[in-house]
Structure 1
């Protein structure tokens, strides 16, 4: 048996307008856990969702991500950004070194609300659900041009144990979104 050693930046890459995913360890490598490095661009929101059978782990390498990893008091269909749990949990802004573990059945989400890309290490058990998911979503993004077909995304998510609670959104920010506020004298 041989281990897998990869230098920085190595691995099979999938690059779309919405994400860059580098496969680090996969089922093809003999791993029961899929491991990826993911670059999350400004404006990307995966939407709150649940997996019945999968567990996930997120580790922020660079930048800033908003993270959700709890059952809210009330699920709202449009956005998860203001959700709170019955015990007071709320969305967290995570920076370098922060992590989140998500057991099966737990609503979770991430988004990049900052003006710069974020980078995270992402692990999913069992392999290969998310490997196949990332490959297929790359095809959907590529075919979608300026807009992504929500029906194609929903059908794909159902195949890979992803039960969407709020919409996936990607709207690249403009420079105006991040300009300082002018204050009167």
Structure 2
């Protein structure tokens, strides 16, 4: 049986390395929740890059600050900056403030970035559970590489966790990985 969770502000397990600032609020797993839930602090200049999961679903909810968010299939995935992507029905990215939400079903390209000069905070849920394992490994690679991990290790990590990277990932303007997986 799953255990209930009640946390005060700031509660949870911190996962930190390089530009990654995640606090695991509710761990997933066979005897826990079906989703993993995090509070993510997004530094100015951070861009996760467009990517897609063939099996997982994700939900992002902006709590503080402003994030650029994208969740659609573009007419052309080869365009290098997802901010320039356009969907078949003419949609482009959303600049969302507090209360903005993005739900991503499996197989849909998505991205978020913080182009502002202030930190942003979002609630993030990932299903199936286990994204905390990806964050733990990513944080270790970021620490090992002083914020600039080996691109081949990042590509291998993402492949293990069902992440196909479509555009580059940036941490405050510094490339962390190759532009394409």
- Kept in 1, the 8 Å contact 2:68–2:96? The answer is yes
TM-score (norm 2): 0.90
- Kept in 1, the 8 Å contact 2:50–2:167? The answer is yes
Counterparts of 1:146 and 1:13 in 2: how far apart (Å)? 17
Partner of 2:143: 142
- Kept in 1, the 8 Å contact 2:17–2:147? The answer is no
Q: Segments of 4+ in structure 1 off by > 2 A? A: none
Partner of 1:10: 11
Matched, 1:80 2:82: yes
Counterparts of 1:146 and 1:104 in 2: how far apart (Å)? 29
Unaligned runs of 5+ in 2: 175-181
Aligned-pair CA distance for 1:104? 0.2
Counterparts of 2:145 and 2:160 in 1: how far apart (Å)? 19
| Count of residues in Structure 1 that have an aligned counterpart in Structure 2 | 172
SS of 1:114's partner is: coil
5 Å-filtered alignment, 1:55-94, equals 55-76=57-78, 78-94=80-96
SS of 1:132's partner is: helix
SS of 1:115's partner is: coil
RMSD in angstroms over aligned alpha carbons?
A: 1.5
Aligned-pair CA distance for 1:148? 2.3
TM-score (norm 1): 0.89
Partner of 1:180: none
Aligned-pair CA distance for 1:171? 2.7
Unaligned runs of 5+ in 1: 174-185
Partner of 1:42: 44
**Residues 103-150 of structure 1: per-residue CA shift (max 9 Å, x gap):** 00000000000001100000000011x111100000010011252211
Structure of higher CA gyration radius: 1
Per the alignment, do residues 151 and 77 of structure 1 end up closer, same or farther by CA in structure 2, a change over 3 Å counting? farther
Partner of 1:170: 171
SS of 2:82's partner is: coil
Counterparts of 2:90 and 2:147 in 1: how far apart (Å)? 38
